[in-house]
């Protein structure tokens, strides 16, 4: 069968990797684990508050960063779309963050946001703060400010790219008609343009949410360890604790997998309904 070549990575490594994770979360394949029950690792995860906090924190960071990226990206693309055609062709610069590696974005965020960074210095010169310590600790903050801003920097351009692909096909005469009928600019955006963007915004939001929910690089550079995102907890339990604690890392991964699968299911449901519009190919650049 012609599908066979793709089944090698899919079945062997993707499904196989997930299966091995599940098996190990039950305490199997591990000589140092002697649990009374298969579900001990899960019991530990669900009865310790810091794991639950981590899950909630990951939700919060992913939700806020994806949501704000959607807002900024939509506004940016709407602005670009309003430019006359000749100028529109000169806006490629907005795509820069799409090709930037995540660790580079994290570093740039650090240069700007840290206490000795650019924004702190500008605040000093504006007289807002008089010494470094007065600047809030945005990197490694409990509220995930550094992580959220890094994701917004990275993802806003991706949203812009996605929304532009829909806006390019949008007939500008709709807007002229609405204007003639007396609609204001905000009204036009909300009730004429936005309904057309509903699907692309939903699918893009889901992609960004799933990514930020489980990604490692940005939290590793910018995140605090308490509560810390789920991926950091997994890293901690997989690499820094001894082998007997490994089922906990695996149980956390299974939870990560189940939650992201649910959102992935929604993503495919909506994008399949859209027909063959699979714009997510470009997601790799995010």
Partner 1 sequence: MRNDKLKLILLWLVFLFPLLVLVLHSFSGQWAFPSLFPDTMNFRTFIYFKENVGRIFIHITSSFVYSILAVILSVVYSLLPAEFLSRREFTGKKIIESLLLAPAVLPVMTFSIGVHVMFIRLGLADTHWGVALILSVYSYPYMLRALISGYKTIHPDAIVCARNLGAGFWQILWEIEIPMLLPALTAGASIVFLVAFSDYFLVFLIGGGSVPSYSGYLFPFLNSTDWSLASGLTLLFIIVPILLFLVLDLTVIRLYRKWL
Q: In this structure, what token pair is assigned to residue 252?
A: 């956390």
* Cβ-based nearer residue to partner 1, 21 or 141: 21
Assigned token pair, 209:
């949410």
**Selected binder of partner 1 within 97, 227, 228, 247 (CB under 8 A):** 97
Q: How far apart are CA 206 and CA 160, in angstroms?
A: 15
| Binding residue for partner 1, selected from 52, 122, 168, 194, defined by CB under 8 A | 122
- Shortest Å distance, C-beta 181 to partner 1: 25
Does 128 contact partner 1 by CB under 8 A? no
Contact criterion met (CB below 8 Å) for 225 and 232: yes
Judged by CB under 8 A, which of 38, 52, 56, 103 binds partner 1? 103
- Alpha-carbon gap, residue 15 to 9, rounded angstroms: 9
Q: Does 110 bind partner 1 (CB under 8 A)?
A: yes
Given the complex with partner 1, which of 55 and 256 has the nearer CB atom? Answer: 256
Query: Considering the complex, what minimum distance in angstroms separates the CB of residue 162 from partner 1?
Result: 15
40-58 per-residue burial string, b: 16 or more CB within 10 A, e: under 16? bbbeebeeeeebeebbebb
Query: Considering only residues 40-69, where is the footprint of partner 1 by CB under 8 A?
Result: none
Instruction: Name the nearest CA neighbour of 175 among 161, 159, 195.
Output: 195
Q: Enumerate the H helices of the chain as residue ranges.
A: 4-7, 16-25, 40-47, 49-82, 85-88, 96-99, 102-113, 118-125, 145-167, 173-180, 185-188, 194-214, 217-222, 230-235, 246-273
Q: Which of 70, 145, 163, 215 binds partner 1 (CB under 8 A)?
A: 215
Q: Does the footprint of partner 1 cover residue 13 (CB under 8 A)?
A: yes
Which range of residues in 12-20, 44-52, 63-71, 169-177 is near partner 1 by CB under 8 A?
A: 12-20
179 touching partner 1, by CB under 8 A: no
Q: Return d(Cα 191, Cα 183) in angstroms, integer.
A: 10
Least Cβ distance, residue 34 to partner 1 (angstroms): 19
Q: Give the three-state DSSP class for 195.
A: helix
Work out whether 213 is an interface residue with partner 1 (CB under 8 A): yes
Residues in the chain: 286
Among the residue ranges 42-50, 66-74, 102-110, 190-198, the one whose residues contact partner 1 (CB under 8 A): 102-110
Contact residue for partner 1 among 72, 238, 245, 270 (CB under 8 A): 238
**Least distance (Å) from partner 1 to the CB of residue 283?**
7
């Amino acid at each position: 069968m012609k599908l066979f070549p793709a089944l090698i990575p899919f079945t062997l490594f993707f499904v196989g990797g997930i299966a091995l994770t599940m098996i190990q979360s039950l305490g199997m394949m591990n000589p140092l684990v002697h649990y009374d029950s298969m579900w001990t690792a899960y019991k530990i995860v669900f009865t310790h508050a810091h794991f639950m906090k981590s899950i909630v924190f990951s939700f919060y960071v992913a939700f806020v960063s994806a949501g704000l990226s959607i807002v900024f990206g939509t506004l940016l693309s709407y602005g670009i779309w309003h430019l006359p055609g000749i100028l529109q062709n000169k806006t490629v610069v907005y795509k820069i963050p799409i090709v930037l590696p995540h660790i580079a974005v994290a570093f740039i965020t650090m240069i700007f946001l840290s206490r000795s960074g650019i924004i702190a210095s500008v605040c000093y010169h504006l007289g807002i703060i008089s010494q470094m310590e007065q600047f809030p600790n945005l990197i490694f903050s409990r509220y995930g400010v550094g992580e959220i801003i890094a994701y917004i920097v990275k993802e806003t351009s991706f949203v812009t790219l996605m929304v532009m692909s829909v806006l390019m096909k949008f007939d500008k005469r709709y807007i002229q008609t609405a204007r003639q009928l007396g609609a204001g600019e905000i009204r036009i955006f909300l009730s004429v343009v936005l309904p057309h963007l509903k699907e692309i915004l939903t699918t893009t939001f889901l992609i960004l949410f799933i990514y930020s929910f489980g990604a490692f690089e940005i939290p590793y550079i910018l995140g605090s360890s308490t509560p810390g995102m789920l991926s950091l907890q997994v890293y901690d339990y997989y690499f820094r604790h001894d082998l007997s604690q490994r089922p906990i890392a695996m149980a956390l991964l299974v939870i990560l997998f189940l939650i992201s699968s649910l959102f992935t299911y929604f993503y495919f449901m909506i994008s399949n309904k859209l027909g063959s519009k699979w714009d997510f190919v470009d997601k790799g650049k995010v």
